[in-house]
Structure 1
């Protein structure tokens, strides 16, 4: 994954061969803001413009521009993996959540 930092906000960068342009999409915003360009320098400039328009709009509407994360999400796994992780958690005296969080952070 290619990520560009623009004024403290992260954007995922991809290339679209159908239109022969790079595409950036901010991933930490509470709404959509994307941008396109044929080269990296122009892509950064377009990203700065797109971000500023988004931030101005949020300011006008009194909205928080950054997406908030609760720290909770559901993961579907097989019963066998669930049992294995639960056993591991019990054997080290941790909660299942703590064991999974440790593994994800590694």
Structure 2
């Protein structure tokens, strides 16, 4: 199960570290590797807010962009049978493989993080 938390408009993926007995969060889509921890959800949220605030302040101070640029281009290497199946399904739905893959990825992403903007 994937758990995602939004902090300050940025998405973070959450997990639980059984060895440390702590929740762990990692922001996705930032130019730096920003990880935070907490013993409960409230502490995790607070740690994420503090980490993000410090990261954004450092980006502003240094003039660095805080977020990664997503171009909309994605190169995949998939098994040939998956490629063939995608082509059949796309054709059966009257769309290109690219359009079908886009729809599948959008539906999967929306089910985890909510509607895409």
For structure 1, the 5+ residue unaligned runs are none
Following superposition, the deviation at residue 90 of structure 1 comes to 5.4
Q: Which has the larger radius of gyration?
A: 1
Task: Provide Cα deviations, 1:74-94, integer angstroms capped at 9, x if missing partner.
Answer: 222233333443455556664
Taking structure 2 as the reference length, what is the TM-score of the superposition?
0.76
Q: Distance in 2 between matches of 1:39 and 1:99?
A: 40
Q: 1:10 to 1:92 in 2, by over 3 A?
A: closer
Task: Report how many residues are paired.
Answer: 106
2:66 corresponds to = 65
1:20 corresponds to = 21
SS in 1 for 2:70: coil
Answering whether residue 83 of structure 2 is matched by residue 82 of structure 1, we say yes
Q: Distance in 2 between matches of 1:38 and 1:86?
A: 47
1:97 corresponds to = 98
For structure 2, the 5+ residue unaligned runs are 108-117
Following superposition, the deviation at residue 95 of structure 1 comes to 3.4
